[in-house]
Amino acid sequence: MTDQNTFYPPDREERWLIRRHYFRIAWIMIILALVFSGVNTLVMNISAGIIGEGFTLEQINAGKAVIRSIPIMRAIYSYGFPIAADIAALGIGILVTKTDLRSKLRSAGLSGKGFLNVTSITFSAATAASFVNLLLIFFILAAMGKLSDFNAASASAVSIAPKGNPLWLDILIYFYICLLGPVLEELIFRGVLLEGLRKYGNLFGIIMSAVMFGLMHQNIMQFLPAAVIGIVWGYTAVKSGSLIPSILLHILNNTMSSLLLVVLPSIDLSNMNDISSLLKMTMPMIIIAGLISLFRFACIIGSIVIIVKYFSGTHGRLVDSNGYTSSRTWKYFFTSVPWLLITGYLIYTTVTSITHIA
């Protein structure tokens, strides 16, 4: 990395190199979004048109209904393409950044105490961000006059494992959500993308890789919590030099989020005749929700202790930022056409996702 103690503005040749660098890094997100959304949608529509024996809207929709009724086809479109997108983006990222991911996976990078601290901050920050996000959506829907139509179930993706799936598909779903997905996403966002964006400044790299992580969910209910968690994990990856902590925490986060989804399909409120039946049927959900709530409460308490200790001692900046980094990051990133296009697209899909929860 260039000496950041020299606070001179980039000359003409360096400006060209900076823009070329951001152009190359943008391909990580372009490929990710292109395969995840573009190719997936194109192949789905073509397949649906062939099955529906025509390419009118009605015929395509009829074909999609047939595709979604076949478990293997549903698995390919719902999870095959995301996996392909992650692998393609990771490959491009390794190619353009020359990142040695093996070195970032050789050691934990943190002590046991350090990992507990990051765990506390991760889940307390996620809890706070989720609460703030819910309030913002509440006011947005109220302003739109659609508050009565709020659908928390669809917003939180409760139907990731709908009733009627064969066992192998449920296993595949939770394998991807709780293990494979977190590993691939960390290799991309805290691995190659962060490594590429932090070339001219750690603060910039941590923030923008986290924002991209939040936007890539393309879900307004998930954006803010994911972005906030991304900042914590990005900082951890930079300071520890390892991806192990963020991978483990990502797996833990997704697993906890999925636990309730495992028991929800088994609850049939239509057969409830009395309070005892209701309690018996919902007890697994109550226990799991209670344990998760206690865990998050403990994380919040732990985070308060960590913050008090931090501000009561002598310390510097969490992440260094100076004239060198500020003159080579934000301006060039936000005037890079590829980044403007991919960021604009992701913002659009994230904002318009509010139509799915109202």
Cα distance between residue 45 and residue 356, in whole Å = 20
Model confidence at 4, pLDDT cuts 50, 70, 90, reads low
- Per the model's pLDDT, the better-predicted residue between 173 and 351 turns out to be 351
Residue 134 counted as domain residue: yes
Taking the C-alpha atoms of residue 47 and residue 45, their distance in angstroms, rounded to an integer, is 5
Query: In this model, does residue 195 exceed pLDDT 90?
Result: yes
Residue 270 pLDDT: 58
Provide the pLDDT for residue 164. 64
- Predicted local confidence at residue 324, as pLDDT: 82
| Average pLDDT, integer, range 181-191 | 96
With CA atoms as reference, report the closest residue to 203 among 239, 246, 247. 239
Whether residue 221 lies inside any domain: the answer is yes
- Look at residue 353 in the predicted model and tell me its pLDDT: 85
Is the residue at 115 inside a domain?
yes
Question: For 28, left (φ over 0), alpha (ψ -120 to 50), or beta?
Answer: alpha
In a domain, 207, yes or no: yes
CB atoms within 10 A of CB 182: 21
Q: In this predicted model, which residue has the larger pLDDT, 310 or 28?
A: 28
For residue 125, being part of any structural domain is answered with yes
- Kindly report the pTM of this predicted structure: 0.88
Residue ranges making up the domain that contains 84: 12-356
- Kindly state the average pLDDT of the residues 86-96: 96
The secondary structure of 2-22 as a DSSP string is: --TT------HHHHHHHHHHH
Residue 2 lies in a domain: no
Number of domains into which the chain is organized:
1
Q: What is the pLDDT of residue 278?
A: 63
**pLDDT tens-place string over residues 237-289:** 999 999 999 999 999 999 988 877 666 655 555 555 666 666 666 777 778 88
4 domain residue, yes or no: no
Weakest mean pLDDT among 21-35, 40-54, 150-164, 187-201: 150-164
Q: In whole numbers, what is the pLDDT of the chain averaged over residues? A: 86
What pLDDT shows up at residue 158? Answer: 44
pLDDT at 79: 85
User: Considering the domain boundaries, does residue 232 fall inside one?
Assistant: yes
Instruction: For 113-168, write each residue's pLDDT tens digit.
Output: 999 999 999 999 999 999 999 888 888 888 877 766 665 554 554 445 555 677 77
What would the pLDDT profile of 61-77 be if each residue is shown by its tens digit? 999 889 888 888 888 88
Q: Which long-range contacts (CB under 8 A, 24 or more apart) does 263-268 make?
A: 263/288, 264/158, 265/161, 265/162, 265/163
Band (pLDDT 50/70/90 cuts) for residue 290 is confident
Count Cα atoms within 13 angstroms, Cβ side, for 260. Answer: 18
pLDDT higher for 140 or 102?
Answer: 102
**Mean pLDDT for the stretch of residues 340-356:** 90
